[in-house]
Structure 1
């Protein structure tokens, strides 16, 4: 919401500055801010649609709609923001003209830097509550909720873009050559394309389906085994159904002389421990089996999730 409000105000001011000065950097930045506003709107729509209840046709719910809308954001940023800016900059380089009323673009750029800085600061504050000890690059790569990484990258790119626009306008004013304004516009377009490609790569991974993080996997492993009825995990797979919804399917080792009632009770207890350790574990399937030395000697399930646990029943 902070990013949406800031970008709408910035977009309006940039278009006014373009109308008075004719600066292509201002036009590119105006379209950039308008695209960013649309992106924030898409993220809000995706978050709302993801809250729908599960249906017979979609039994695991609609949590992954947030990933779809985040991917749409990368497409909008690439096409509307990046490619338009490159085209506009190319045209300005081919047909340069001097800037008029230079104080409009300069004033708007200063205002935009302040507004984007406010939005970026808000995104950093919200992200710090989730990223823990992760670096910023690790947080963007590993975050399952797409909204914060998208806003972080957009705001970071916007601040760099504003600096490029200010540089292009400043050089055009100092030299009297409008080509510099066009060069600054092309640089903005290239920057937006690069950010869009990073976003597309990250959201594509989420769309394909990502496993739980290593820390959550370790918590799940520790929660499953009780050392009495459940003696170990033969193999396990995890999948994010949405940013805050995790599916867990595991084959667990139980004692060969346990009764069905004891196994059922142990499974229920294991599910409760898993949910206590990892609250986003919403869908859990545990299949009991008798641990086999031959199965362990054969190695981990070749179809198991990469990075997931290998067979390690306790006491063997």
Structure 2
């Protein structure tokens, strides 16, 4: 994902939500509508979330240290996970509490009746522009994936988070407009409470989705199948190595992939030739998958017998009568 694209979408959402939050609070103070209060807190939570995403993106750029030799790229995942918690607790649970309170003491909207409707319509327009920006930036990196697959498989969390937040904000505004509108039409404050409850359920659902997807990133995800295939092709395309014995990949951050592979090397006369082969293959891997920035290739001797035994490496094929762990042909892996 383009970092600039993600930042642009975050800033657009932050500006929209900050402005919307102020107008919603004014509408709540004038009317006492619980839907307007829930939406006000929702917009404040969203504004804070966008601030967290910007902070996470900034902190992730710090240089690697001896204590964190692979850098701080995953900090973007941590802040995205915090966003899901904020959305769940501050946005969703507060709205559900407010709905319960309003059901217990329903009140009609007697004054400034035009204010909440006007504010909600204006908010829908402003939020639509933010959502449009998020969609436009996402389309630059989404490719042919469906929206569901993009949200589930994106390694950079910012655009999926902003997309879901903006979608939730738009749907929540419609729910609030429904609750306020029905309260104005019927004079029954319970409709306002129903709209507030719908907003709460929506925010809790979005927060759970974000938490599940971000947790997967925090645990560590490997490369997508097409990138794995490209890396395998880059390794075996030349004469340097005969095959991949085994390989693992891991995202150290949204834009930094680690590749660790044990490769079958042909017989060679010097370490210099072997080192040159490794450098050549590493260059091919980086050309095929630009995010593959950390690469470890371990040359080994391939054994068909070991492959059948499940190791694939001659170094792990025991010699009859040898000590456990002693390799066939050489003393270790």
CA–CA separation in structure 2 for the residues paired with 1:36 and 1:85: 14
CA–CA separation in structure 1 for the residues paired with 2:190 and 2:309: 67
Classify 1:296/1:6 alpha carbon distance in 2 versus 1 (closer, same or farther; 3 Å). same
Which residue number in structure 2 is paired with residue 292 of structure 1?
303
Which residue number in structure 1 is paired with residue 96 of structure 2?
86
Which residue number in structure 2 is paired with residue 310 of structure 1?
none
Task: Report the alpha carbon displacement of residue 54 of structure 1 after superposing the two structures with TM.
Answer: 0.3
Indicate which of 60, 77, 99 corresponds to 1:67: 77
Classify 1:261/1:187 alpha carbon distance in 2 versus 1 (closer, same or farther; 3 Å). same
Classify 1:186/1:179 alpha carbon distance in 2 versus 1 (closer, same or farther; 3 Å). same
Query: Does 1:2 find its partner at 2:12?
Result: yes
Contact 2:240–2:281 (CA under 8 A) maintained in structure 1: no
CA–CA separation in structure 1 for the residues paired with 2:136 and 2:89: 30
Determine helix, strand or coil for the equivalent of 1:230. coil
Structure 1 stretches lacking a partner, 5+ long: 302-316
Indicate which of 279, 288, 301 corresponds to 1:277: 288
Indicate which of 43, 52, 59 corresponds to 1:33: 43
Which residue number in structure 2 is paired with residue 314 of structure 1?
none
Deviations 1:184-209 (A, max 9, x none): 00110010000000000000000000
CA–CA separation in structure 2 for the residues paired with 1:82 and 1:300: 50
Deviations 1:246-279 (A, max 9, x none): 1110000111345322221110001111111111
CA–CA separation in structure 2 for the residues paired with 1:232 and 1:266: 13
CA–CA separation in structure 1 for the residues paired with 2:309 and 2:202: 50
Corresponding residue pairs, total:
301
Contact 2:246–2:262 (CA under 8 A) maintained in structure 1: yes
Task: Report the alpha carbon displacement of residue 177 of structure 1 after superposing the two structures with TM.
Answer: 0.1
Contact 1:229–1:262 (CA under 8 A) maintained in structure 2: no
TM-score scaled by length of structure 2? 0.89
Which residue number in structure 2 is paired with residue 134 of structure 1?
145
TM-score scaled by length of structure 1? 0.93
Which residue number in structure 1 is paired with residue 7 of structure 2?
none
Contact 2:268–2:274 (CA under 8 A) maintained in structure 1: no
